[in-house]
């Protein structure tokens, strides 16, 4: 491990501790899948800026579009007038939103994922006249006060600043670990247990008469990289229709092509009432948004939505270039091909000795999680091996059972040519701190 550079030390001293960081690297330059530190260390960036730079760092077409826009118009506040870039983006984006459902043709652009989630909640409350929202256990929706209250993946996101806003109820996601069941549990069991749980929430905690929306990540991200089975999404749609509740898909992480379709809800063929996007849509420039039916957005009072930088012109130009590049370079086909390759590799890895640390491999497209054996199980195995006079080889992973994004990096690293040498060091030296998780 390198000594932190002077800049890294300066940052550690002056950046608020609440930010938290996985590494000490000061990053200087990115190109494609690679990122370079101020100490000229070249790293394969498995994090992609946490699911953001899907086209790679500094994709030339996106950079060129942003640069051109910088020379034309940087800022046109959306409550004052439309920027040309905003309108051009809408023209490119609407056909992609129509893939989730043609009714999703009324859009509001924001800056970050959390802001877009807040906008979705405001819309759901405003147009249903109801207040409560149901979220999934294990969900991640952001770190603003409202979204911290809706985030159920870890207590760190709300600990010490309660109370979070009221009216948020939690139900189970069909992930076996949430039900205390083994990985081999049939999908149908998990789906019926989760829908049963939701019906209990709606009959015992928040009446459908008070419930504006149910929100979920169609692929649970930080909570374990778990794709929702199609039958779960279809079941939610049915319950929502039955009770006049809106279904919101938070596609901040699972959208923008990451799973091999533009939106992961397409896999279930389920129509969201509100779809939320961010992250990959502008390949690194801050842009997010919500899409819904005009009939719903028309209920909003003009002026109730907006913000100084919302739908910034440079970010819109970048997003338009992202969409164009996806079409021109057939990126979705590439996601499908690379995904098949990655799953084959990981499934083969599981059959090797190093791969015995892997408990589960799952995901959709290139949103892939690798779940490692629980550390306590590992320690028991190692103790047993020591007892039997064998040399324990497995690195002890700290709290790694849900460290899924990190795990893919570790798995690939451990399987590299130098794998044997690497195995002597902790695989976490690739830059992942064990107690932190990528959101
Ligand atoms: N929703 C989901 C599903 C996310 O993964 C994230 C970010 N990890 C957010 C919302 C919040 O986005 P942001 O960090 O841009 O506020």
Residue 152 has pLDDT above 70, yes or no: yes
Number of Cβ within 10 Å of residue 3's Cβ equals 9
- Examine the fold and report which residue of 328, 347, 380 is the final residue of a domain before the chain moves on: 328
Do residues 88 and 216 share a domain? yes
- In this structure, what are the phi and psi dihedrals at residue 296, rounded to the nearest 5 degrees? -85, -50
Do residues 281 and 406 share a domain? no
Do residues 72 and 124 share a domain? yes
143 belongs to a structural domain = yes
Do residues 18 and 148 share a domain? no
319 belongs to a structural domain = yes
273 belongs to a structural domain = yes
| Mutate which of 54, 216, 278, 280 for ligand 1 pocket (most atoms within 8 A of beta carbon) | 278
Residue 22: the pLDDT is 87
55 belongs to a structural domain = no
Do residues 183 and 290 share a domain? yes
Domain assignment of residue 8, given as a range: 1-45
54 belongs to a structural domain = no
272 belongs to a structural domain = yes
CA distance 247 to 235: 11
Structure ipTM? 0.99
Is any ligand 1 atom within 6 A of the Cβ of residue 141?
yes
Residue 1: the pLDDT is 58
Q: List the single range of 18-32, 166-180, 264-278, 334-348 with lowest mean pLDDT.
A: 18-32
371 belongs to a structural domain = yes
Give the mean pLDDT of the chain: 88
Q: List the single range of 205-214, 248-257, 326-335, 384-393 with lowest mean pLDDT.
A: 384-393
Contact 173, 223 (CB under 8 A): yes
Do residues 335 and 289 share a domain? no
Q: How many domains does the chain have?
A: 3
Structure tokens belonging to residue 344: 């084959």
- The alpha carbon of 383 and the centre of ligand 1 are apart by a number of angstroms equal to 40
Q: Which atom of ligand 1 lies nearest, measured to the CA of 143?
A: 16
Is any ligand 1 atom within 6 A of the Cβ of residue 277?
no
| DSSP string across 48-114 | HHHHT-TT-BT-HHHHHHHHHHHHH-S---TTT---HHHHHHHHHHHHHHHHH-TT--EEEEESSHH
Higher pLDDT, 287 or 430: 287
Do residues 305 and 397 share a domain? no
53 belongs to a structural domain = no
Q: Which atom of ligand 1 lies nearest, measured to the CA of 288?
A: 15
- Examine the fold and report which residue of 292, 311, 328 is the final residue of a domain before the chain moves on: 328
Do residues 426 and 287 share a domain? no
Whose CA is closest to atom 13 on ligand 1? 113
Is any ligand 1 atom within 6 A of the Cβ of residue 117?
yes
- Examine the fold and report which residue of 300, 328, 356 is the final residue of a domain before the chain moves on: 328
* Interval 151-165 mean pLDDT: 96
- The alpha carbon of 279 and the centre of ligand 1 are apart by a number of angstroms equal to 8
Which residue is listed with tokens 């009072």? 301
Do residues 134 and 186 share a domain? yes
Higher pLDDT, 381 or 404: 381
Contact 121, 202 (CB under 8 A): no
Do residues 309 and 432 share a domain? no
Do residues 384 and 270 share a domain? no
Do residues 299 and 213 share a domain? yes
Residue among 248, 311, 317 at smallest CA distance from 100: 248
Contact 335, 371 (CB under 8 A): no
- The alpha carbon of 70 and the centre of ligand 1 are apart by a number of angstroms equal to 26
Q: Which atom of ligand 1 lies nearest, measured to the CA of 276?
A: 1
Q: Which atom of ligand 1 lies nearest, measured to the CA of 114?
A: 16
230-270 per-position pLDDT tens digit: 999 999 999 999 999 999 999 999 999 999 999 999 999 99
């Amino acid at each position: 491990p390198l000594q932190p550079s002077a800049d890294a030390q300066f940052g550690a001293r002056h950046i608020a501790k609440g930010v938290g960081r996985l590494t000490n690297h000061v990053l200087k330059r990115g190109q494609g899948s690679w990122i370079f530190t101020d100490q000229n260390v070249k790293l394969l960036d498995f994090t992609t800026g946490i699911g953001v730079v899907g086209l790679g760092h500094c994709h030339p077409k996106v950079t060129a579009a942003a640069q051109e826009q910088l020379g034309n118009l940087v800022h046109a506040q959306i409550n004052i007038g439309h920027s040309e870039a905003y309108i051009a983006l809408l023209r490119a984006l609407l056909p992609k939103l129509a893939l989730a459902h043609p009714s999703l043709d009324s859009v509001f652009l924001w800056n970050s994922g959390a802001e877009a989630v807040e906008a979705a909640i405001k819309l759901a409350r405003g147009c249903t006249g109801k207040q409560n929202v149901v979220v999934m256990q294990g969900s991640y929706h952001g770190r603003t006060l409202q979204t911290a209250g809706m985030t159920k993946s870890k207590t760190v996101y709300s600990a010490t600043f309660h109370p979070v806003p009221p009216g948020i109820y939690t139900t189970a996601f069909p992930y076996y670990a949430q039900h205390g069941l083994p990985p081999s549990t049939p999908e149908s069991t998990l789906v019926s247990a989760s829908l049963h749980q939701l019906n209990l929430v709606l009959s015992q905690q928040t009446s459908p008469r008070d419930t504006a929306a149910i929100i979920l990540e169609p692929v649970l991200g930080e909570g374990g990289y778990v794709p929702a089975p199609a039958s779960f999404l279809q079941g939610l749609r049915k319950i929502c229709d039955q009770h006049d509740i809106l279904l919101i898909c938070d596609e901040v992480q699972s959208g923008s092509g990451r799973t091999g379709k533009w939106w992961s809800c397409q896999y279930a063929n389920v129509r969201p009432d509100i779809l939320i996007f961010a992250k990959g849509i502008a390949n690194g420039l801050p842009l997010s948004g919500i899409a819904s039916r005009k009939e719903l957005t028309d209920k909003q009072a003009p002026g109730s939505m907006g913000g100084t930088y919302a739908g910034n012109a440079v970010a819109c130009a970048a997003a338009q270039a992202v969409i164009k590049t996806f079409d021109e370079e057939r990126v979705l086909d590439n996601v499908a091909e690379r995904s098949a390759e990655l799953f084959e590799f990981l499934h083969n890895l599981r059959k090797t000795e190093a791969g015995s640390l892997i408990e589960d491999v799952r995901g959709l497209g290139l949103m892939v999680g690798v779940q490692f054996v629980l550390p306590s199980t590992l320690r028991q195995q190692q103790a047993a091996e020591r007892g039997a006079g064998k040399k324990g080889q497995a690195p002890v992973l700290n709290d790694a059972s849900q460290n899924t994004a990190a795990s893919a990096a570790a798995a690939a690293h451990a399987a590299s040519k130098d794998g044997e040498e690497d195995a002597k060091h902790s695989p976490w030296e690739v830059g992942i701190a064990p107690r932190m998780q990528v959101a």
